[in-house]
Structure 1
Amino acid sequence: MEQFYLAALQMVPGIGSSRMKVLIDYFGSARQTWLADQGDLFLSKCIDTAICNNLLSCRDKIDIHKLADTLFKKGISLCTLTADNYPSLLQNSFNPPYVLYYRGTLPATDKLIAIVGARKATAYGKNAASMLAAALAAAGVGIVSGAARGIDTAAHQGALEQQGYTIAVLGSGVDVAYPPENKNLLASIAETGAVVSEYAPGTMAHPGHFPARNRIINALARGVIVVEAAEKSGALITADFALEEGRDVFAVPGSIFANTSKGANKLLKLGAKPVDCATDILEEYGWENFSVKPTTLALSAEEQAIYGLLNYDEPMSIEEIVTKLKVLPATAAYILLQLSLRGLTVEHSAQRYTRAAREGIE
Structure 2
Amino acid sequence: MIANKHSELACWIALQRVPGIGPVTYQKLLQQYGNPQYILNNPGQITGFNDELVEKLRHPDWQQVEQDLLWLEQDNRYILTIEDERYPSLLKEITDPPCLLYVQGDVSLLNDWQLAIVGSRNPSPSGRNTAYDFAHYLAEGGLVVTSGLAMGIDAAAHKGALSKGKTIAVVATGLDRVYPAQHRQLAYDIVENGAMVSEFPLGTSPRPELFPRRNRIISGLSLGTLVVEAALKSGSLITARMAIEQSREVFAIPGSIHNPLSRGCHQLIRDGAKLVETAQDIIEELGALAGIKTPHEDTKDKTESTHEKDGDYQVLLNHLGFDPVAIDSLIENTGLTADAVSSMLLLLELEGEVESLPGSRYIRTGS
TM bucket, shorter chain: 0.7 to 0.9
TM-score (normalizing by structure 1): 0.80
Structure 1's 217 and 108: CA in aligned 2 closer, same or farther, altered over 3 A? Answer: closer
- Distance in structure 2 (CA, Å) of the matches to 1:131 and 1:109: 24
Superposed CA offset, 1:210-263 (max 9, x none): 000000000000100000000000000001101111111100111111111110
2:179 counterpart residue number: 178
Aligned residues of 1:218 and 1:224 also touching (Cα < 8 A): yes
Pairwise CA RMSD:
2.7
Aligned residue pair count: 319
Moved more, 272-281 or 145-154: 272-281
Question: Percent identity over the alignment?
Answer: 37
Match of residue 326 from structure 1: none
Structure 1, unpaired ranges of 5+: 316-344, 346-353
Q: Are the counterparts in 2 of residues 23 and 46 from structure 1 also a CA contact under 8 Å? A: no
1:1-362 equivalences under 5 Å are 1-24=7-30, 26-37=32-43, 40=44, 43-56=45-58, 59-60=60-61, 62-73=63-74, 76-106=77-107, 107=109, 109-162=111-164, 164-285=165-286, 286=288, 287=291, 289-292=293-296, 293=300, 295-296=303-304, 297-299=307-309, 304=314, 308-311=334-337, 313=339, 358=347, 359-360=350-351, 362=353
- Looking at structure 2, the residues matched to 96 and 300 of structure 1 have their Cα atoms a distance apart, in angstroms, of 46
Counterpart-to-counterpart distance in 1, 2:310 and 2:246: 51
Q: In structure 2, how many angstroms separate the alpha carbons of the residues matched to 1:289 and 1:102?
A: 28
User: What is the distance in 2 between the residues matched to 1:153 and 1:312?
Assistant: 22
C-alpha distance in structure 1 between counterparts of 2:312 and 2:94, whole Å: 53
Shift of 1:33: 2.0
With 16-25 and 250-259 compared, the bigger mean Cα shift is at 16-25
Kept in 2, the 8 Å contact 1:147–1:170? The answer is yes
- The code of the aligned residue for 2:151 comes to R
Deviation at 1:24, TM superposition (A): 3.8
CA contact (8 A) 2:14 2:62 kept: no
Tell me, what secondary structure is at the counterpart of 2:146? strand
- In structure 2, relative to structure 1, the CA distance for the partners of 1:153 and 1:280 (3 Å cut) is same
What stretches of structure 2 of length at least 5 have no aligned partner?
A: 1-6, 318-333, 354-367
Q: Secondary structure at the match of 2:169?
A: strand
How many angstroms does 1:53 deviate by?
4.0
Give the drift of 1:277: 1.6
SS, match of residue 167 in structure 1 = strand
**Native 8 Å contact 1:169 1:197 kept in 2:** yes
Structure 1 122/56 Cα, relative in aligned 2: closer, same or farther at 3 Å? farther
The 1:25–1:253 alpha-carbon spacing in structure 2 relative to 1, beyond 3 Å, is closer
Q: TM-score, normalised by structure 2?
A: 0.79
Identify if the C-alpha distance between structure 1 residues 60 and 148 changes in structure 2 by more than 3 Å, giving closer, same or farther: closer
Q: Is the 8 A contact 1:19 1:46 kept in 2?
A: no
